[in-house]
Structures are given as structure tokens and as C-alpha cells.
Amino acid sequence: MPQPHRSIGQVLSIVKTEFPDVSISKIRFLESEGLLSPERAPSGYRRYRQADIDRLRYILRVQRDHYLPLKVIREHLDLMDRGEQPPNLETPAPVAVPKQADEPVRPVQGAGEVARPVRAAGRKPLRMTRRELLAASGISEAVLIDLERQQLVSTRRQSSFYGREALTICVVARKLQLYGMDSRHLRAIKQSAEREAGLVEQAVQPFLRRQKSEAAEAAREVTQLVIHAHAAMMHSLIQR
């Protein structure tokens, strides 16, 4: 009996209950990397069989639970295609990820004003232990060690606690894994941020001889302007 075929939208609905971060663009990306090979209807639409859906679930599961790069996943799939068993991976204990850890900072913009990041009212600075950071971000100890080795994540100065920036970077690292990006790519982002931080420091130099509060306000203002310009330029480049 022939297997029923499903559209990419139907496949997304099926797997999204288990993998809420997955998207149609993500599925298409995996296809472009040769990890998925759905049939094509004469009209050009993708037609997924149950075997394709099971394959997609496997890819998403090992990415989420074991942070395997695409190269290793491809090797596992090649073994499966030859009728062999892929390496047995120990399933980690499920980690509850608080909703706030996945919520992006949303910009708001009034008439004639530059958009500024806003945070929920009353949010206090985070002070997280290592265990709390792992639980909140959903990454593994190995990933955190790699991020620290690349100097992408660290505790606060003269403290053993992690802050909100560390949590944000860890959550981003977890989500970028789904797109085949790892700490090496984050390192490139950090290098760009370091150059922009240098521009901010140069701009606020004249204010350092004034009152401390005035210099701090100037640094915040210039930082927000640089962030706004960076985001706008990124969107412009991607839209091309």
C-alpha cells in the first residue's frame, strides 16, 4: 500500500508539537544541505512520506539533544540509508526552559525616535549559578565549556554568577545549532561586536572628563544608536 504524501506545511504541523522552534525555512535548509530528499510533484511542490518525516524528526532530535553538527548527522544518515544502525547516543534528561529565556528584546519606536530595546518592567539583573544557566538556556555542559573557551560567555566581574548577557548568548547558541552554526560563528559575531564597542569607546572619550552620570548616559545613548544602525544594516543586507 503506497504511503500517503504530505505537504511541507502539514509536515511542519506534525513536528512542531515536539520541536516548537522548527520552521519551513529550517526544513528547506536541511533539504538544501542534502539531509532530506522529499519527492516533487509535477507542479514542483514537495511531497513528504512518513519515512521523510521520521528522518526529519531524527535530525531535529540529535541537533536539540546532542548538538551534533550537520557533518556528523550526515554520517549517521548515510549509515541508516545503508541499513545500518547509527551510533547509540545517550538521551539527556529533559531540561525545562523558562519562557523568558527565549523571549527576544523587542524594539519600540515612537514618532521621530530611534528604536530602543525594552525589557519587561521590574526585571532585576540576573544572578545565575552555572547549574541555573544550563537549565534556563537548555544547553549542555559541553556547549557551555566551548562557549567559555571561545570567551563568548563568562561570569560577571569578581563574581561566580552569570548575568543576562550570558543567558542570551547561551540561548542563541542553542537555537543557532539548528542551522548548523556553532561557537566559531559566534566568535565572528563577537569580533564584529568588539569593533563596534571600540567605536563607542572612542565616541564617549570627551565625556569621560565630565560627571560620571553624564558619561554613562552618553555611553548608553551611543551604544543604542550603534545597535540600531547595526540591526537596520543587517536587515537591509539580508533583504537583498
> pLDDT tens digits, residue range 162-219?
988 899 999 999 988 888 888 888 888 888 888 888 888 888 888 877 777 777 888 8
Confidence grade of residue 91 (pLDDT, cut at 50, 70, 90)? very low
Give me the domains of the chain, ranges plus CATH numbers.
Answer: 8-81 (1.10.1660.10), 92-101+121-181 (no CATH), 183-240 (no CATH)
Distance between start and end Cα atoms, the chain: 46
Confidence grade of residue 121 (pLDDT, cut at 50, 70, 90)? very low
pLDDT of 12 reads: 92
Nearest to 222 by CA among 233, 214, 212: 214
Compute the CA torsion angle 154, 103, 99, 189 (nearest 10 deg). -30
Q: Angle at the Cα of 66 (from 61 to 72), degrees rounded to 5?
A: 90
Buried b / exposed e along 169-201 (16+ C-beta atoms within 10 A) = bbbbbbeebbebbbbeebeeebeeeeeeeeebe
Phi/psi at 116 (5° precision)? -125, 140
Confidence grade of residue 111 (pLDDT, cut at 50, 70, 90)? very low
Among left, alpha and beta (phi > 0; psi -120 to 50; other), residue 90 is beta
Q: Angle at the Cα of 60 (from 55 to 66), degrees rounded to 5?
A: 120
Which three cell numbers mark 177?
545549532
The larger pLDDT score, comparing residue 78 to residue 21, is at: 78
Res. 25: pLDDT tops 80 = yes
pLDDT of 235 reads: 81
pLDDT of 124 reads: 62
Confidence grade of residue 90 (pLDDT, cut at 50, 70, 90)? low
Which amino acid would we find at residue 44? Answer: G
pLDDT of 53 reads: 93
**Residue partners of 71: CB distance under 8 A and separation at least 6:** none
Most confident of the following: 46-55, 83-92, 152-161, 197-206: 46-55
The larger pLDDT score, comparing residue 134 to residue 66, is at: 134
Mean predicted lDDT score pLDDT of the chain: 80
Which three cell numbers mark 227?
545597535
pTM, 2 dp: 0.52
Classify the C-alpha dihedral 134-140-144-145 as positive or negative: positive
Counting residues of the chain whose pLDDT is more than 70, the rounded percentage is 84
Nearest to 224 by CA among 118, 126, 153: 118
pLDDT of 48 reads: 93
